[in-house]
């Protein structure tokens, strides 16, 4: 069941590809003409611009010459190219991670802010090991214990981003009450999971809210699950990845980074937070503690 993983840092590839595409567009060159100028196939150059494959500094420098990019930006892009071949920790789990999820893992590693709404499940970064195991086993009941162990290991490795000291991101997370009421894995698993969420909500960099059933209809019922990720600047804010919306499906995912798309999801998130009706998170913690007690009853 091994899957092919694209090599290199997905975030850096995306950054570099986007800037090369913008430079080509500014130079008023078609993809066909640009590819011919650097003796590359159109499909290869397209994959470089999409961030699907890494590229080397000399090739980036040649593209910058063709596009007449100024020396300062050329130097920055060449330096960025050297980072596109770095491999993330998750590449050793290529047999249990879908190829389309690799991009998100790279973004998750470098994001400075998460805005996330979840209507059905506890987000992977906040899951206990027992909860994660129950979710994975239910999602794919035909896999063996060894593969489940490896998938759980991936999830635990990802969770370092929540508690690390250096470059720790901020989290704004809203859960539908159904997430903490559904007895995933049984009452003992859910009690521990709700307590874990309550503890995380006390951390200064985590803002965790619950939209109670009593609210009735709210905007999250239309949006489904989504994450808006924002990223820190690089090199004095000259090189930075734009905010990106991640929407996961059953067999793939969407990555939306157009300004109007991100704005729409930001607006939806703000409305979901408002619907929760919890100005400081205290009511949500009460819901979590109550759900923990009732799960064990």
Alpha-carbon distance of 85 to 144, in angstroms, equals: 33
CATH superfamily ID and name for 10-81: lambda repressor-like DNA-binding domains (1.10.260.40)
Please state whether the predicted TM-score (pTM) of the whole model is above 0.85.
Answer: no
The closest of 67, 62, 73 to 38, measured between CA atoms, is 62
Question: Residue 124 corresponds to which tokens in the numbers above?
Answer: 């992977």
165 band by pLDDT with thresholds 50, 70 and 90: confident
Over the stretch 229-252, which tens digit does the pLDDT of each residue have? Answer: 998 865 444 456 789 899 988 877
CATH 1.10.260.40 occupies which residues in the chain?
10-81
What share of the chain in percent tops pLDDT 90?
A: 52
CATH 3.30.870 occupies which residues in the chain?
89-296
pLDDT at 52 over 50: yes
Alpha-carbon distance of 171 to 229, in angstroms, equals: 10
Q: What is the CATH number of domain 89-296?
A: 3.30.870
100 band by pLDDT with thresholds 50, 70 and 90: low
User: Could you tell me which residue, 153 or 238, shows the higher pLDDT?
Assistant: 153
pLDDT at 228 over 50: yes
User: Could you tell me which residue, 143 or 97, shows the higher pLDDT?
Assistant: 143
Residue 117 phi/psi, 5-degree rounding, is -120, 130
Give the pLDDT confidence score for residue 237 in this predicted structure. Answer: 43
Mean predicted lDDT score pLDDT of the chain: 86
Dihedral-angle region of residue 109 (phi above 0 means left; psi in -120 to 50 means alpha; beta otherwise): alpha
């Amino acid at each position: 069941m091994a899957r092919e993983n694209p090599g290199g840092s997905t975030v850096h590839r995306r950054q570099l590809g986007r800037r090369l595409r913008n430079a080509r567009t500014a130079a008023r060159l078609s993809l066909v003409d640009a590819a011919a100028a650097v003796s590359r196939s159109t499909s290869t150059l397209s994959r470089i611009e999409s961030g699907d494959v890494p590229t080397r500094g000399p090739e980036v420098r040649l593209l910058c010459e063709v596009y007449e990019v100024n020396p300062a930006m050329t130097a920055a892009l060449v330096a960025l190219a050297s980072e596109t071949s770095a491999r993330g920790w998750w590449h050793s789990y290529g047999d249990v991670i879908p190829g389309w999820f690799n991009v998100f893992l790279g973004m998750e590693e470098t994001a400075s802010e998460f805005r996330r709404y979840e209507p059905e499940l506890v987000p992977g970064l906040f899951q206990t090991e027992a909860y994660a195991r129950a979710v994975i086993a239910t999602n794919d009941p035909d896999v063996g214990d060894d593969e489940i162990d490896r998938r759980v290991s991936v999830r635990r490795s990802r969770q370092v981003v929540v508690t690390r000291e250096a470059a720790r991101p901020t989290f704004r997370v809203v859960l539908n009450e159904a997430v903490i009421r559904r007895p995933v894995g049984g009452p003992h698993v859910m009690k521990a999971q709700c307590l874990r969420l309550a503890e995380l909500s006390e951390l200064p960099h985590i803002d965790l809210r619950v939209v109670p059933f009593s609210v009735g209809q709210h905007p999250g019922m239309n949006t489904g699950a989504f994450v808006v990720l924002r990223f820190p600047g690089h090199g004095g804010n000259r090189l930075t990845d734009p905010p990106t919306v991640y929407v996961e499906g059953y067999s793939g995912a969407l990555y939306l980074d157009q300004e109007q798309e991100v704005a729409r999801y930001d607006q939806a998130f703000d409305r979901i937070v408002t619907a929760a009706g919890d100005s400081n998170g205290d009511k949500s913690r009460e819901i979590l503690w109550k759900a923990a007690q009732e799960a064990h009853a």
